[in-house]
Amino acid sequence: MRMALTLAKRQLGMTAPNPSVGCLIVKDGVIVGRAATADTGRPHAETQALKIAGKDAKGATAYVTLEPCCHQGKTPPCTQALINAGVARVVIAVKDTDPRMQGKSISLLKKAGIAVTTGILEKEAHTLNEGFFSTIEKLRPFVTLKFATSLDGKIATRTGESKWITGETSRAYAHQLRANHDAIMVGIGTVLADNPTLTCRLPGMEHRSPVRVVADSKGRLPKDSALARTAKETPVWLLSTTQKLPSSAITLLHTQSKAGHVDLTHALALLAERGITRLLVEGGSTLAAALLKEGLVDSIVHFQAGITIGGDGLSAIGSIAAEHMRQTKRFHLASTRRLGEDTVTTYRLAN
């Protein structure tokens, strides 16, 4: 099952709106078929692995990271494919919470005389596809807030200079994060200050750049910005309360207004409706604060460098206007690792 999870992990950011699933077909201790969900979500992992296994699938065991689908969509249901192939056993890491499922696949497999085992590495499998589960259970993507700071929590000097706080290894890992997400989001302030491209620039992974999303309530995205100029190559979506578009290549998502700004709850729902399951937020401080205040952040990835900038530097998170500790959001430590001279720490929202 760990091998199946590894296969699925490699496809994160490439399968939306479908989950990234890994499948291994094993017969007499030998792997006869293996696959992960293909780009754009089709074909599914199970049908690919069964095709590779061929006749060897009969009497074999299928290891699947997510309960196989049983509903007829754009591709035939994987549950029926497993039954038709004659597998003897199916091992499932985590059940699918899609309302169309409700354990139907497991019932169909058992009815066909196939042994079914569930809950193997269930926590790991759920974490792998937390974006998929979030769109079903919360009707919004799983939101990860990412920022890089000095030791004293600053993202730039008082003049706005921020290149580079962290080292090359950290920046490469940040690009890997981009590749593993369906979309990356920034506020218009970050665009106006830094003119970012927001693409994945790791050698050989340039094609894995996510959809680029800008929260821009008043439609201030410049026509000559890097995002507008490259919108034909890599999609740009504008979350705005206006109808202004700097380029016909940009997609406008008209959002509700909240206190004169983009209603972020509505905005995230719009992203989920368009198939975004995993959203990486890279700033700036105003957007970060707004998302945290609304309780819309599920995870934080904090890169920290061994430098100090001082109290007049720019903070990673803007004002949340918290007067009492009960108004704060608590995250628990999930992992920490060293990247060159920096550290990267991941926090997850405490239940």
Task: Decide: 65 and 40 in contact? Cβ < 8 Å.
Answer: no
| Residue 93 vs residues 65, 96, 113, 118, 201: alpha-carbon distances, Å | 5, 10, 20, 6, 33
Residue 267: phi and psi, rounded to 5, are -60, -45
Task: Please say if 46 is a catalytic residue.
Answer: yes
User: How many whole angstroms separate alpha carbon 343 and alpha carbon 38?
Assistant: 33
Task: Decide: 96 and 67 in contact? Cβ < 8 Å.
Answer: yes
Helix (H) or strand (E) holding 61: strand 61-66
Task: Decide: 309 and 348 in contact? Cβ < 8 Å.
Answer: no
Which one, of 87, 35, 77, 83, lies nearest residue 56 by Cα?
87
Count other C-beta atoms under 10 Å from residue 345's C-beta: 14
Count other C-beta atoms under 10 Å from residue 204's C-beta: 6
Task: Decide: 306 and 158 in contact? Cβ < 8 Å.
Answer: no
DSSP 57: G
Which one, of 255, 211, 258, 261, lies nearest residue 233 by Cα?
211
Pairing of strands 342-349, 331-339: antiparallel
Pairing of strands 183-187, 211-215: parallel
Catalytic pick from 46, 67, 130, 282? 46
User: How many whole angstroms separate alpha carbon 217 and alpha carbon 189?
Assistant: 11
Question: Which residues carry out catalysis?
Answer: 46
